[in-house]
Structure 1
Amino acid sequence: MFAVIKTGGKQYSVAAGDVITVMALDGAPGDSVTFDEVLLLSKDGAATVGAPIVAGAKVSGEIAEQTRSPKTLAFKKRRRQNSKRKRGHRQDLTLVKITAIEG
């Protein structure tokens, strides 16, 4: 059984026991989270596609860790102008362990 969920503007294909990395969610490690926006639910080879979401379906998970992404650098240089700028950015992320899929 697997499901396609939507969180943080992105879609993730998940199954029970998976660990996914999503945009920052509120909570501490060990807290439970529920994803109500289930776009597709597949059980025993039969898929249920939502329009836009599957009614009554939800995916439960547990926050494993609050972390940050590797640093990405934005470097801009204007040639022959003696002008350059370097900025770094790290995105806040949450690791979620999927515990159950209900549908």
Structure 2
Amino acid sequence: MYAIVEVKGKQYKVEKGQDILVEYLGDDAKEAPEIKTLLLKKDDESVLVGTPYVDGVKVSSKIVEMMKGDKVVIGKHKRRKDYRRKTGHRHKYHKITIEDIAV
């Protein structure tokens, strides 16, 4: 059984017990909320497709850790002017584990 869920505007294909990286959920996120924006659920017998979301199906999850992505380096310069700037950024992510897909 798998489901396609939407978390923070991005869609993920998830199964029970799977770890996924989602956008940073905020500083006050101690536990992952129930994911109620389910777009599709498929099991052995049937397929539920939402318009746009499937009603009555929830995906429970828990936060495993907060992590940062790879560093993105930004540089700019102006020729012949001895002007150079270099800055960087590391995007934050939450790693969550899918515990259950419940109807």
In the superposition, the TM-score normalised over structure 2's length comes to: 0.87
Name segments (4+ residues, structure 1) moved above 4 Å. none
Mapped partners of 2:20, 2:8: distance in 1: 13
Q: CA RMSD in A?
A: 1.6
Gaps of 5+ in 1: none
- 1:85 is matched with which residue? 85
Judging changes above 3 Å, is the alpha-carbon distance between structure 1 residues 97 and 78 closer, same or farther for their aligned structure 2 residues?
A: same
Identical residues among aligned pairs (%): 36
2:70 counterpart letter in structure 1: P
Structure 2: which amino acid aligns with 1:56? Answer: G
TM-score, normalised with respect to structure 1: 0.87
Q: Deviations over 1:17-49 (max 9, x none)?
A: 000000112423xx3531000011111153211
Consecutive unaligned residues of structure 2, counting only runs of 5 or more, are none
- How many residues matched? 101
CA distance in 2, matches of 1:75, 1:14: 37
